[in-house]
Chains A and B, each alone.
Chain A
């Protein structure tokens, strides 16, 4: 007889809701008449992600004392719940952005989106290496499909394939690393690994290194970022918006938990490793972004550089670093999502890839989107127009608190460099004449839902500057679920 563990169903309600939504969206593609298919599938996605967000908030409130559920495979605590809230919010915004996408496969798009989000929600709560790997593959495979969903576009298919090949490489590294760690400790549960690890075990260290590399692939940190610009540029912009924000949230939230829970004895190793990766990401991301003409590609490199900033918080491994990381993810994901959404709007208007040149005059033609982009770019650059400013201040504080003044200096220099390309976008939007530009013709589409999504991103990014204390309190409660 098979012994079935007790299942705390409530702890996985957000995941189940998203999965259910995914099935409904898929059925929707077959059963609902084509005329209303787009509306109904988007509605399903919006409802499912809203429900996931509400239940995640409920779980946050209800999980003051974190504990393991489902035979020790899943964490029900505030770290999980807060990450899930952020992830569901991004999913909701993506559903809104995707609703006005003028392409086919809208039901499939929403189904895969929800499936991928469900995987991410599972990923951030995983408590052992097996669940971690399975949920990683779960959301990654969904993302491969999403990248290639516009398969009649050359770039989309190429992006999907590239992401599949390189992503699988990262996943393989993670799996191999997990196997080595299991070999060294005889355990796959995070907490048990920490309990039974012997110091100076080379097998364990090698496994840890491979796990770090695998996670760095997923979070597009240098030198594991090579796929990022190509995939971000080639994938449909809606998908890029989702990937650039949600994947990072999932990868960093899990990485911090994994390292704190499973490898506290090796902290001196992984904290230096991540500090190195952070510096590499800051250097590569910022320098490469300087020379980009394609806005999506530039934003891709910018996301590499922000991975560097988030890794500064992660590498300290301290409670302050954990708070800084969680806080950083909130304005960052809003700005990343919002900026790609604005690019999507321009792309739909022009019917061509958005470059710095054909962004000319955009700020005057579409005042709201222009101002929003203005806020996102200045916020990315760390100017006090949004939470990006406090987020940078926070990670730099964490680095100093850890005794790494040099990392503060590196972060500051990286910010100075980044100004050049962020301001280039503002310059292109407002300070160039748009006369020579041939717009596709007619007035731009109304895109009410896109405006709602961008507006929400704007509210979050500016609101996180004003409401720092409440958000940090949330992050502190979340981080207190981790062992320090």
Chain B
């Protein structure tokens, strides 16, 4: 196994840029440009990785390992599997769009803001590439720090309650994970995710699963979600739902299923039930919500449930579909929240009662929102359809009723998405929509269109991810073999 520093560059470049932004007395314009530039360089490094990645090979690639805490066998160990590569890609692409959005709307206190956004980028990439439990935990927590301040400082009117709830919820879960990590790591004598042998302990499994279930979130751990998604600035919500939530489902795949095979099958029905509950309940809540962001927020919760269904079905189709859906839904919800932000900027509200009729005279907004809506409701031919189809097929192999529940929820998805589209774009012109409200500007299009383009590419060629996520395309064996 050769050592490669490119993964570390992906983590630490944005962190270094964040420090530079904080230290150097740059102007508002220079700060934003530097942050956007660094985000784009990240995307460039990621493309370089994709080009160099050997999709046929088993085991970790681009890995690097240095001892960190020697006497407890903790190391700085990073590297990528094929599925982590896609999630890192999702992170850098979505973050680039969101940093760009922050620049476009001209956030106050730019040095603090862009520094935190870059810090968030580094930490999130770290979560997806860490191959040591303590390192994983450190990055998992480190995501929280910039998020807390980003929501608390640049958020909406009720941001205080939102941040407290968000932090206490997620920390409660992840600190129990820390306890589980301590116990597991000391028991097996290493904290390395690649080397650690699987464990049969149900308590440890639950410790890890709780953290991931809160992050995802699954029913009934979603208490933090509505406040945080509504009060955060739109681009931060986009990151939260598009990327951060995927850290939860990624953790299920990388740790919970891989390292705890027996407990995962013991609790399979429970987790599948929670996933199904998140799917159905989230969809129903999305259908009942009366504002743009809440609909997308609850739909993200539903999608997390669906991804969990795919993962815990434990089938080849389910795994492939789950990875595809993580990326596809990440891009969809990120774009939808950015569009929601654009709508809010024009009308000062996301309330359906005060919106409506925005399609008239605003072709770019209408086209974009329509396209995203169509992908979100998983119209056949879209990337989301491919992902959902694989997941449903995989869960059908587990038991027919999981697939039946999933299929029912997809009908609900169509209902809430179409309701969203008609409430914003069609119907009578809402009181908050002024005639002068502009169509999407070039700058906004430049941020969202690339994400939509990526989705269209995935729609045309979903196998790019679904056949390139596990070496040799045998996910069940890969998970059972612990990705060695």
Chain A residues at the B interface, C-beta cutoff of 8 Å: 320, 323, 364, 371, 374, 378, 382-385, 389-390, 392-394, 396-397, 400-401, 405, 408-409, 412-413, 415-416, 419-420, 423, 426-427, 430-431, 468-469, 472-473, 476
- Residues in B neighbouring A430, C-beta threshold 8 A: 149, 152-153
Docked complex Cα distance between A383 and B167 (Å) = 11
With both beta carbons as reference points, the residue of chain A lying nearest to B176 in the complex is identified as A412
Q: Distance (Å) between the CB of B123 and the closest chain A CB?
A: 9
- Residues in B neighbouring A409, C-beta threshold 8 A: 179
Question: Given that A393-B182, A396-B182, A409-B179 are contacting pairs, would A385 and B71 also be in contact in the complex, using a CB cutoff of 8 Å?
Answer: no
User: Are B109 and A364 in contact, with the CB atoms below 8 A?
Assistant: yes
**With an 8 A cutoff between CB atoms, is B144 at the interface?**
yes
- Most chain B CB neighbours (cut-off 10 Å) among A397, A413, A427: A397
Q: Distance (Å) between the CB of A327 and the closest chain B CB?
A: 10
Question: Given that A384-B142, A423-B148 are contacting pairs, would A408 and B183 also be in contact in the complex, using a CB cutoff of 8 Å?
Answer: yes
- Residues in B neighbouring A364, C-beta threshold 8 A: 109
User: Are A469 and B67 in contact, with the CB atoms below 8 A?
Assistant: yes
- Residues in B neighbouring A415, C-beta threshold 8 A: 171, 175
User: Are A420 and B152 in contact, with the CB atoms below 8 A?
Assistant: no
Contact digits for B44-86, partner A, Cβ 8 Å, 1 yes 0 no:
0000000000000000000000011111100000000000000
Chain B residues at the A interface, C-beta cutoff of 8 Å: 22, 67-72, 109, 134, 137-139, 141-142, 144-145, 148-149, 152-153, 159-160, 163-164, 167-168, 171-172, 175-176, 178-179, 182-183, 185-186
Question: Given that A371-B22, A472-B70 are contacting pairs, would A431 and B142 also be in contact in the complex, using a CB cutoff of 8 Å?
Answer: no
- Most chain A CB neighbours (cut-off 10 Å) among B70, B163, B179: B179
A-B contact pairs, 19 of them (CB 8 A): A383-B142, A383-B144, A384-B138, A385-B145, A397-B185, A400-B186, A408-B182, A413-B175, A416-B171, A416-B172, A423-B148, A427-B152, A431-B152, A431-B163, A468-B68, A468-B69, A469-B68, A472-B69, A473-B70
With both beta carbons as reference points, the residue of chain A lying nearest to B151 in the complex is identified as A431
Q: Distance (Å) between the CB of B189 and the closest chain A CB?
A: 11
Q: Distance (Å) between the CB of A12 and the closest chain B CB?
A: 32
Q: Distance (Å) between the CB of B158 and the closest chain A CB?
A: 12
- Residues in A neighbouring B178, C-beta threshold 8 A: 392-393, 396, 412
- Residues in B neighbouring A374, C-beta threshold 8 A: 149
Name B's interface SS.
Answer: helix
- Residues in B neighbouring A389, C-beta threshold 8 A: 138, 141
Docked complex Cα distance between A396 and B185 (Å) = 12
User: Are A416 and B175 in contact, with the CB atoms below 8 A?
Assistant: yes
User: Are B153 and A397 in contact, with the CB atoms below 8 A?
Assistant: no
User: Are B168 and A385 in contact, with the CB atoms below 8 A?
Assistant: no
Q: Distance (Å) between the CB of A416 and the closest chain B CB?
A: 5
B139, B159, B175: which contacts A431 (Cβ < 8 A)?
Answer: B159
Docked complex Cα distance between A420 and B164 (Å) = 8
Q: Distance (Å) between the CB of B23 and the closest chain A CB?
A: 10
Q: Distance (Å) between the CB of A285 and the closest chain B CB?
A: 17
User: Are A408 and B145 in contact, with the CB atoms below 8 A?
Assistant: no
User: Are A419 and B171 in contact, with the CB atoms below 8 A?
Assistant: yes
B69, B139, B148, B185: which contacts A390 (Cβ < 8 A)?
Answer: B69
- Residues in A neighbouring B141, C-beta threshold 8 A: 383-384, 389
Sample of 16 further A-B pairs with CB below 8 A, known A385-B145, A393-B178: A382-B175, A384-B141, A389-B138, A400-B186, A401-B186, A408-B179, A408-B183, A419-B167, A420-B164, A426-B149, A426-B152, A427-B160, A427-B163, A431-B159, A468-B69, A476-B71
- Residues in B neighbouring A412, C-beta threshold 8 A: 175-176, 178-179
Q: Distance (Å) between the CB of A328 and the closest chain B CB?
A: 13
Docked complex Cα distance between A430 and B160 (Å) = 11
Docked complex Cα distance between A132 and B163 (Å) = 48
User: Are A405 and B183 in contact, with the CB atoms below 8 A?
Assistant: yes
- Residues in B neighbouring A419, C-beta threshold 8 A: 167-168, 171
- Most chain B CB neighbours (cut-off 10 Å) among A390, A412, A472: A412
Q: Distance (Å) between the CB of A364 and the closest chain B CB?
A: 7
Q: Distance (Å) between the CB of B174 and the closest chain A CB?
A: 10
Q: Distance (Å) between the CB of A422 and the closest chain B CB?
A: 10
Q: Distance (Å) between the CB of A443 and the closest chain B CB?
A: 18
Q: Distance (Å) between the CB of B167 and the closest chain A CB?
A: 6
Closest 10 A-B residue pairs measured CB to CB? A384-B138, A431-B152, A412-B175, A412-B179, A468-B69, A396-B182, A469-B70, A408-B179, A416-B172, A384-B142
With both beta carbons as reference points, the residue of chain A lying nearest to B142 in the complex is identified as A384
Docked complex Cα distance between A393 and B144 (Å) = 18
Q: Distance (Å) between the CB of B163 and the closest chain A CB?
A: 7
User: Are B71 and A323 in contact, with the CB atoms below 8 A?
Assistant: yes
User: Are A397 and B182 in contact, with the CB atoms below 8 A?
Assistant: yes
- Residues in A neighbouring B159, C-beta threshold 8 A: 431
User: Are A393 and B183 in contact, with the CB atoms below 8 A?
Assistant: no
- Residues in A neighbouring B176, C-beta threshold 8 A: 412
With both beta carbons as reference points, the residue of chain B lying nearest to A424 in the complex is identified as B164
- Residues in B neighbouring A323, C-beta threshold 8 A: 71
Q: Distance (Å) between the CB of B183 and the closest chain A CB?
A: 6
Docked complex Cα distance between A392 and B138 (Å) = 12
With both beta carbons as reference points, the residue of chain A lying nearest to B155 in the complex is identified as A431
With both beta carbons as reference points, the residue of chain A lying nearest to B111 in the complex is identified as A367
- Residues in A neighbouring B72, C-beta threshold 8 A: 394, 397
Docked complex Cα distance between A420 and B148 (Å) = 12
Docked complex Cα distance between A384 and B134 (Å) = 10
